[in-house]
């Protein structure tokens, strides 16, 4: 099988990767806030920023670990105030995603970041939900929302957040768990995830990004997570790798994020080939594209340039993403048929 190195097959490889229908399942919508939009929202909301220019802000995006990123990410999200801000943020993302061949997007959002500043839950959810509907009409993208609890806060606060969101129950399809991983194991959120399950919500959780393989196990056993976000540290436990492969648990892997947050020194050192070789249901995602140097296709291109990946791997990654999505089965089947056509050039 011919490797899809961009240096040897520049346009063919890129056009092929772009043409594959894909689902993006790990994108924090607040992480799609581009510096230019951040400045514009600060201006229209009368907020003073501690940066003189877009360039000065960009220069601050030099992270040493997850926490160093989160500090800047939460500060940036503070410019989001109105329903239109949330709508505009998501629409800008959908435009980029459509150009990358995204047919399905499941957007994480962090309501606690906003409600703590006095922004109403309805403002956040209605703005994002309106954008999800518009994504279908404008770009043919099927989109839904996943409400994430901030794991550095308490489970009681997560319960309050879920309660505040219940009037909008029809506007989101699941719950997730994000923010500072170390020292905040999944067990901390056992009861609120159980409640979310009773409400018929899907459950996903960040685990094994910076945290140990044991956090992946407890995300599965205690939170009943249907997908693991990141999960790259699973390779430290051969038993866990076997378990994830046998169960077909999807891992939403974010290669550029992993490099920016120093989980791996560079893309060439990423364990994506090992994850694929182990038969894990890996898919690629951008995580926080405005902060980590690229959107979904940038992650694909970076990986296919730096790693020994084949055309068959590309099709597997796209298929894994579509199969792991929470979209209705009929929609998934239609995209999988589209993928078969794109893969065979028909």
Residues that bind ligand ADE (CB under 6 A): 28, 31, 66, 73, 178-179, 206, 209, 257, 287-288
Q: Is the dihedral of CA 133, 33, 249, 18 positive or negative?
A: positive
Which residues contact residue 137 at a Cβ distance below 8 angstroms, ignoring those fewer than 6 apart?
none
Which residues contact residue 113 at a Cβ distance below 8 angstroms, ignoring those fewer than 6 apart?
30, 74, 77, 150
Nearest Cα neighbor of 328 from 98, 108, 129, 104 is 104
> H-helix or E-strand containing 252?
strand 250-253
Strand intervals (E) in the chain: 22-28, 102-109, 142-150, 174-178, 202-207, 227-230, 250-253, 281-284
Nearest to ligand ADE of 66, 225 (CB atom): 66
Compute the least distance from the CB of residue 162 to ligand ADE, in Å. Answer: 18
Q: To which residue do tokens 């051969």 refer?
A: 238
8-state DSSP, 172: -
Q: Taking CB under 5 A as the rule, does residue 106 contact Zn ion?
A: no
Q: Which does 151 bind (CB under 5 to 8 A by kind): Zn ion, ligand ADE, none?
A: none
Nearest to Zn ion of 42, 252 (CB atom): 252
Q: Which does 85 bind (CB under 5 to 8 A by kind): Zn ion, ligand ADE, none?
A: none
Does the annotation count 198 as an active-site position? no
Nearest to ligand ADE of 220, 339 (CB atom): 220
Compute the least distance from the CB of residue 175 to ligand ADE, in Å. Answer: 14
Nearest to ligand ADE of 24, 178 (CB atom): 178
Q: Which does 24 bind (CB under 5 to 8 A by kind): Zn ion, ligand ADE, none?
A: none
Strand intervals (E) in 122-259: 142-150, 174-178, 202-207, 227-230, 250-253
**What is the DSSP code string of 38-93?**
HHHHHHHTT---S-SSHHHHHHT---SSHHHHHHHHHHHHTT--SHHHHHHHHHHH
Torsion, CA 93, CA 51, CA 259, CA 321, rounded to 10: -10
Q: Pull the structure tokens for residue 3.
A: 């490797």
Nearest Cα neighbor of 271 from 287, 255, 251 is 255
Compute the least distance from the CB of residue 90 to ligand ADE, in Å. Answer: 15
Q: Taking CB under 5 A as the rule, does residue 287 contact Zn ion?
A: yes
Nearest to ligand ADE of 3, 212 (CB atom): 212
Of 187-206, binders to Zn ion (CB under 5 A) are: none
Q: Which does 31 bind (CB under 5 to 8 A by kind): Zn ion, ligand ADE, none?
A: ligand ADE
Residue nearest to ligand ADE (CB): 178
Q: Which does 179 bind (CB under 5 to 8 A by kind): ligand ADE, Zn ion, none?
A: ligand ADE
Single out the segment in contact with Zn ion by CB under 5 A; choices: 83-91, 220-228, 241-249, 287-295.
287-295
Which among 209, 210, 305, 331 is annotated as catalytic? 209
Compute the least distance from the CB of residue 182 to Zn ion, in Å. Answer: 15
Q: To which residue do tokens 């993403």 refer?
A: 321
Cβ neighbours of 285 (radius 10 Å): 25
307: exposed, middle or buried (Cβ count in 10 Å: 0-12, 13-18, 19+): buried
Give the length of the chain: 346
Compute the least distance from the CB of residue 257 to ligand ADE, in Å. Answer: 5
Nearest to ligand ADE of 110, 313 (CB atom): 110
Compute the least distance from the CB of residue 70 to ligand ADE, in Å. Answer: 6
Q: Taking CB under 5 A as the rule, does residue 110 contact Zn ion?
A: no
Q: Give the active site residues.
A: 209
Residues at the contact surface with Zn ion, assessed by CB under 5 A: 287
């Amino acid at each position: 099988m011919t490797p899809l190195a961009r240096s040897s097959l520049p346009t063919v490889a890129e056009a092929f990767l772009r043409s594959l229908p894909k689902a993006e399942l790990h994108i924090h919508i607040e992480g799609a806030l581009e510096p230019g939009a951040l400045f514009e929202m600060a201006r229209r909301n009368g907020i003073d920023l501690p940066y003189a220019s877009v360039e000065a802000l960009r220069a601050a995006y030099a992270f040493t670990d997850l926490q160093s990123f989160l500090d800047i990410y939460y500060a940036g999200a503070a410019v989001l105030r109105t329903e239109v801000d949330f709508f505009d943020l998501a629409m800008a993302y959908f435009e980029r995603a459509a150009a990358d061949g995204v047919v399905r997007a499941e957007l994480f959002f962090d309501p606690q970041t906003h409600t703590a500043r006095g922004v109403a839950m309805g403002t956040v959810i209605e703005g994002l939900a309106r954008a999800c509907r518009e994504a279908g009409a404008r770009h043919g993208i099927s989109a839904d929302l996943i409400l994430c609890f901030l794991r550095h806060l308490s489970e009681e606060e997560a319960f309050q957040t879920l309660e505040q969101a219940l009037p909008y129950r029809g506007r989101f399809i699941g719950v997730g768990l994000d923010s500072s991983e170390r020292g905040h194991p999944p067990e901390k959120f056992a009861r609120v995830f159980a409640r979310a399950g009773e409400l018929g919500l899907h459950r996903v959780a960040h685990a094994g990004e910076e945290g140990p393989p044991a956090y992946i196990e407890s995300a599965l056993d205690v939170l009943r997570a249907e997908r693991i976000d990141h999960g790259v540290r699973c390779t430290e436990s051969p038993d866990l790798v076997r378990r994830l492969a046998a169960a077909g648990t999807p891992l939403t892997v974010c290669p550029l994020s992993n490099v920016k947050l120093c989980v791996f020194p560079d893309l060439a050192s990423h364990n994506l080939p090992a994850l694929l070789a182990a038969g894990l249901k890996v898919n690629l995602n951008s995580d926080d594209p405005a902060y980590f140097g690229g959107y979904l296709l940038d992650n694909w291109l970076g990986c296919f340039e730096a790693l020994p990946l084949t055309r068959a791997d590309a099709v597997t990654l796209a298929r894994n993403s579509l199969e792991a999505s929470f979209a209705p089965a009929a929609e998934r089947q239609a995209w999988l048929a589209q993928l078969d056509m794109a893969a065979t050039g028909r």
